[in-house]
């Protein structure tokens, strides 16, 4: 058992090797959490996340697991319990996409996205809920997508998974509230990451033109929102979906484009 983890709140962030997951891990560490950094296969990037946490005075633990595999999720949470004996915050950030127009979508594309983006979150929530309900406190934050709110061509599999995630979060919030456990969904809009840097300039400008605030979000902004939702300042929030997309989906839902 880690003695530091006994004195600090403990947060597990899935898919924390880079991008938004890394930013969330750094933000939580800066706020005094002992952070468990989960990664699927990119150990080098995950170790870079650890380095950044430690440079900012954070404490951490690195744990590999593919959340689409129930046995690996079980091993992940067993390691968390063995090392920390508690879990205060779970951020379900890990996700994949296999974008393809529906008539060209393969069974494998469908299965892989649903296995990670929906079933993987279910596996993690189930294990976390057992730890948190026993302690009668905890917060689960699921990272959603605006694809759940407005249709995107070529994202039938991804949009389905993220839409179902909203129902999972709301239902779980209702069940776990009497146990002192809160569940929320945070939906980022287009966010500047290393992955989005590969988007062609013309496409990027087109997306910005559809955002009322006329800019993409920054990972640090989303990370601060997640940290707020996890904090005591948000203790009356549960079952809620918080959208941080510069107003895009609100505009689309209002005007249909």
- Non-local (6+) Cβ contacts of 124 within 8 A are 14, 67, 73, 77, 90, 92
Going by their DSSP bridges, the two strands 138-143 and 217-218 should be labelled as unpaired
SS3 241: strand
Identified catalytic residue from 33, 34, 101, 158: 158
Question: What sign does the CA torsion over 96, 195, 30, 40 have?
Answer: positive
Q: Does the active-site annotation cover 33? A: no
What are the backbone angles phi and psi of residue 72, rounded to the nearest 5°? -75, -35
Q: Where are the beta strands (DSSP E) in the chain?
A: 10-13, 34-39, 59-64, 89-92, 138-143, 181-188, 191-192, 217-218, 241-244
Please tell me the total number of residues recorded for the chain in this structure.
Answer: 257
Gap between the Cα atoms of 110 and 118, Å rounded = 11
Please give the positions annotated as active site.
158
């Amino acid at each position: 058992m880690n003695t530091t983890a006994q004195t600090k709140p403990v947060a597990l962030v899935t898919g924390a090797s880079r991008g938004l997951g890394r930013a969330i891990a750094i933000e939580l560490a800066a706020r005094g959490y002992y952070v468990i950094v989960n990664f699927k296969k990119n150990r080098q990037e995950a170790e870079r996340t650890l380095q950044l946490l430690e440079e900012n005075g954070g404490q951490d633990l690195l744990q590999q697991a593919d959340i689409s595999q129930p046995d690996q999720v079980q091993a992940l949470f067993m390691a968390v319990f063995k090392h920390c004996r508690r879990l205060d915050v779970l951020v379900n950030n890990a996700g994949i996409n296999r974008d393809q127009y529906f008539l060209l979508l393969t069974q494998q594309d469908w299965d892989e996205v649903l296995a990670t983006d929906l079933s993987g979150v279910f596996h993690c929530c189930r294990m976390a809920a057992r730890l948190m309900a026993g302690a009668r406190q905890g917060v689960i934050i699921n990272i959603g997508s605006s694809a759940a709110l407005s249709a995107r061509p070529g994202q039938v599999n991804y949009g389905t998974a993220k839409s179902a995630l909203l129902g999972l979060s709301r239902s779980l919030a209702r069940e776990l509230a009497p146990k002192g456990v809160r569940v929320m969904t945070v939906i980022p809009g287009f966010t500047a990451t290393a992955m989005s840097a590969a988007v062609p300039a013309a496409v990027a400008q087109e997306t910005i033109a559809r955002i009322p605030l006329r800019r993409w979000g920054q990972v640090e902004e989303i990370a601060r929102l997640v940290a707020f939702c996890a904090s005591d300042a948000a203790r009356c929030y549960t079952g809620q979906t918080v959208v941080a997309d510069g107003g895009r989906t609100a505009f689309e839902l209002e005007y249909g484009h």
